[in-house]
Each structure stands twice: as C-alpha cells, then as structure tokens.
Amino acid sequence: MLSSASPLELRVAKGPSAGHYGSVKRLQILSLALVALLALQAQPSQAQERPQGPALETTWEVTLKGKPIGGEVTRQVRVKGGFLLETEGDYQITAEPFNYRARLRCDGVGALTSYSLSSAKIRATAIRTPEGVRHSVSYGAAREGVGGASLAKTGGRFAILLDTLCFTHYELVGRRALAKKHAAFEFLALTPQTKGFPVARFEPGAVSELLISGVRRAVRTGTVKVGGLVATLTYDEASGRVYRVEDNQGYVAETTLYPRPYREQQVEIPQAAGAPQGAGPIQGTLTLPGNAAGPFPTLLILPGSGPTDRDSTIGPNAPLRDLARALAAKGVASLRCDKAAFRLRRAFSSGDPAQIAAARERFGTLTFDDEYQRDALPCLEWLAARPETRQIVLCGHSMGAVAAAEVAAASKRVAGVILLAGPARAADELLIEQTTYQLGEVREAPQSMVDSKVKEIRDVFAQVRGDKLPAGQNLMGAPVRYWKNLLARPLTPKVLSGLSQPVLVVQGGKDCQVRKADYDLLVAALEGREAPHEALFLPELNHLFMPCVGPSTGIEYRVEGKLDPRLPDAVAAWVLRSFPPK
C-alpha cells in the first residue's frame, strides 16, 4: 500500500548554489504540473461515467495480526467500455489514521484504464496510454514533496492495478482467474508508488463451498505472488467475486458476505450525563455472530477487579475476548468494554499534562460504583437501541459478577444474569484467604510471616471501616474511598435472593482467588427463589476458566493457555434455552 514515507529526493550536481536551489524548485514545479495533468487525464468523460445498471456495494473488514484496523467500502458499477470501482478506506494502523478515496476504472476484462487515490498525505494517479501506463505519486498535506511521474511500458501484456491496502483491487485478479478458466497465469502488477510493473503470478487452488447470503456457492482459493508478497484469495467460481484475502504480512480482509464465526466492531459510548469525568468515553468491542441477521440475545460482559481492559488481558491470555468470540460462533452477541480504571491508567501515559492532571484527580475519587455501574447503565441503554440485539444478559467475571448482580437489580433492561467465578464474601475476607494461600502454601513462608500479614490486612480494613484513613489515600492500587464503597454494599448472595431474572453460576474448581465456598453460597441464595437458575462447577479450571496442571497459583496466567470450551458451550446453551427467539 502507499505509505506516507518521504518522497524520493531530486538529485542534481553537487554544490549548494543559488542556481542549484532554483533548479530543484523548477523541477518540483514541473513535476507538480505533470501530476496535475495526469489527474485531469485520469478523469473520464461524464458519458463514460454514466452507470449502466445497478451498483454493487462491498464492505471489507480488515485485521492486522488479529487486531481490527478498519476497512473499506467499495461501490462497483458498470460504465461504458468497462466498470468503475469507487472506494473509501478508513484505517488505523499507526497512531495516525489513514483515510483515502480511490477511483479505479477498468475495461471489460479488468485491465487498468485509469486510477486516482487521494488522502491527507498522498495522491496517486495512473492512466493507460498506447505507450504504457503513466503514473505518479505526490506526498504531503499540500503535496509539497513529489515522488515523481513515470511511464511504465507494459509491452502489451495484461496489467492489473494492485494497491495492496485497497483490497477491492483483488477483485480484478478474481475476474482474470474467471476469464482464464481458473488456470495459472501471470500479469503485470502496478503499485502506484513504484516505477515499474513487477511480474505477478496467480496459482489456482482447491474448490469448496461457502454459504453466501443463505445460498451455497462454489468458491475457489488462489494465490498471488508478487515480489515478497504472497496473498491467498477466496473467490466465487461463477462470478470471480473475491470474498477474502489473507497475505503473509499479517493482513486478513473479509467482505461482510464471507461466512465467519463472528464479526467485531470497535465502539465508543458516551458516559452517562453527570458521570465524573477524566476517564473519557467508554470504549469497547461489539461481537456479533458471523453472517446471521439477528437480532441476537446479547451479553454485556463486566471484567474483574483492577485496571482491566475489555478482554481481561493478562500476559498472552485474553479470556473475555475468547469467550465473546466463542459465544458469537454459537449465536450469542456480546459487548465488552475497558474499565474506567484502565482508561485512567492509559491517560496517565498520554504525555498530555492536562489529561494526566485530570486523570490523577479522577483516580483519587474513584469508587466501585464508578468502575462498574456508571459504565454499565449507559452500555445497557446503548445495547437496547441497537437493531442487532434482543434480550440483554449481564455477565460478570470475578468482581464483575458482584456488579452484574447489583446492576440487574437496578435496571429493567437486564433479562438474565451470569456469574463467572463470582465472590460471595467480603473483599477483606477474600484478601486474607488469598494471602494465606499464596504465602503459606505456594511460597511456604513461615507461619509467623503469614500471621503478621493477615493481621496487617485486618488492621488496615478496620481503619477503612472506621473512617480513620484519608479517602484519597492509595490502598493496594485503589483509593480508600473505593474500598469503603465496596465494603458498604450488601454481599452478592443477598442481592441474588431478591432478583427475579434467571441466573447462571459457573465456577472453576482450581480457582485460587474465588473458592468453592463462594460458589456454594451463591447457589444456596438462588435456591430460595422462585425464578429459575442453573449452576455449573468445573473441577479442572482456574480463575480464567483455563485448565492447569496441578494447583493454580496465578503464575500460570502469564503462560499462554486456552479458554476451556465447556464455558462458552454452557453459557451459550443456557442463554439460547432461556431466551429463545420470539
């Protein structure tokens, strides 16, 4: 793809004289004039541009090494003598967004006629002439630098424009493959920022079937090799239309027609009116089932304690991301968001003094309500307004389970509740139990050290309960007011006993942070209700619902593992059984 790197310098004879600089300036002006002339030449007449039939619109969604980076939307229409592709791309590969508009006109068999691309930093043009293809590129917001214009001689061979971040251009390869009856072929590939046509080769692959818009269609794979680039296409055997591109640089581009287990959208949700500021808007990921139309039962997933991101990332593991994607493959949508504490921590490293000061002030006033309820309630309203969603289920992991039960009691939007490794006891009791286990059993510290640390925890939380510590003082990574707010609320079993929604409780037997005692207390509270509930205990799984060898210590969180499939299987089955389509 075109990069925003500096253009090639114009090199003249050595010696920085006034004449030298004047020559360079004249060359720049001449090159700019040539770029402008080529741009005018690349614009066909209005008669040539008049559509001859309905437009075909295609949306591409693109990831780089598994991370969504944006995509493009293309409008394809037949015009006199060929067809026209108009593309708008919106990518976030680096800190600076890259947005572009492109127009590609081809003849009836997909060979380049004219091309233009424009963005804030790059402009490229190309036009086919009897001598070959004239193409140019210029850089800079005001096009100050010039990459130069050149003529690439094709020798009469078939040429395809292949600007590699405009994935729509692979459609031209698919059309050529169709014309060649899916046999191997070579072509000249023009990338507008280069000064020649490298030879590319297409190798056909296997035939299979895909469900496209509810219809089974025969598709083929094929591989394009040009220079160091290797791209594998999945295209329609009957029409040549390309549905998927994956290359050896880590890019995967799929049209929204391509069947996949899930689709993801990065979303931004305004905070509730009157919510304390400083953390910024709520940022998250909406994960939807592949190509199904919906609406879907939808989970709002609440992560555990601490400055946790939407995926509950720890080391190489992202259990909530994996859960959301596995659920989508089974027909259940979800929204997961970065917590306020995570957004504040990101603001601390922004380098902006005003933003850092606001985040520091906000951190000192943070409470449990701010971390969960103040974000969860606007997220529920946002989901309720989406056409893809129907019943909304709150799903909390670890301390997020405490919040899930409370929000369900406060909001009529919540149809059901799922508690994953949910604590049932007070926070200081959990901390004492965790400390005793880590020091006494994992590290085998002397009992005197264990007793001393336990006393320290008891004493400090007695001070929190007795209002003897400054509210803004940092205590174990959170302000004292946060802990006081958390300790003052009713325990989760009591909250559950008053809920009318169906509830699912899931617990891992090797969890070293939330124990079976908590699971038993939650289940006992649910058994006293009339509303339905289900409970699942998985003996081999740790706090992240991953299997581990031997007892869990928390150290294994930093080793790459896999979410046990029994968790998404059980959650999806319960959701679909509890909330069937109307």
pLDDT (tens digit per residue) in 51-75: 667 888 999 999 998 888 999 999 9
Q: What is the pLDDT of residue 429?
A: 96
Q: What is the pLDDT of residue 194?
A: 62
pLDDT above 50 for 21? no
- Residues 6+ away with beta carbon under 8 Å from 31: 136, 138, 146, 148, 149
pLDDT (tens digit per residue) in 529-544: 999 999 999 999 999 9
Is residue 168 within 8 A of residue 160, CB to CB? The reply is: no
Q: What is the pLDDT of residue 87?
A: 95
Quote the tokens at residue 310.
């939407």
Q: What is the pLDDT of residue 42?
A: 42
pLDDT (tens digit per residue) in 571-581: 999 999 999 98
Classified as helix, coil or strand, 235 is: strand
Confidence band (pLDDT; 50, 70, 90) for 40? very low
Please name every residue paired with 11 in a beta bridge, in sequence order, or none if there are none: none
Q: What is the pLDDT of residue 247?
A: 94
Total Cβ atoms within 10 A of residue 114: 23
Classified as helix, coil or strand, 360 is: helix
Q: What is the pLDDT of residue 346?
A: 80
Of 25-39, 89-103, 201-215, 389-403, give the lowest mean pLDDT range: 25-39
Is residue 503 within 8 A of residue 493, CB to CB? The reply is: no
pLDDT above 70 for 476? yes
DSSP 8-state assignment for residue 420: E
pLDDT above 60 for 374? yes
Phi (first) and psi of residue 379, to 5 degrees: -65, -40
For the stretch 115-126, what's the b/e string if a residue is b when 16 or more beta carbons lie within 10 angstroms of its beta carbon?
A: bbbbbebbbbbb
Q: In Å, what is the CA distance from 321 to each residue of 286, 298, 526, 562?
A: 11, 15, 28, 11
Instruction: Report the chain's mean pLDDT, rounded to a whole number.
Output: 86
Percentage of the chain modeled with pLDDT above 90 = 62
Confidence band (pLDDT; 50, 70, 90) for 11? very low
Which value, in Å, is the radius of gyration of the alpha carbons in the chain?
30
pLDDT above 60 for 514? yes
Is residue 483 within 8 A of residue 468, CB to CB? The reply is: no
pLDDT (tens digit per residue) in 379-435: 999 999 999 999 999 999 999 999 999 999 999 999 999 999 999 999 999 999 999
Range 216-240 average pLDDT = 94
pLDDT above 80 for 196? no
More confidently predicted of 439 and 370 = 439
Q: What is the pLDDT of residue 192?
A: 64
What is the Cα–Cα distance from 132 to 146, expressed in whole angstroms? 21
**SS3 labels along 90-155:** EECCCCCCEEEEEEEEEECCCCEEEEEEEECCEEEEEEEECCEEEEEEEECCCCCEEEEEEEECCC
Q: What is the pLDDT of residue 148?
A: 61
Strands 333-337, 296-302: pairing kind: parallel
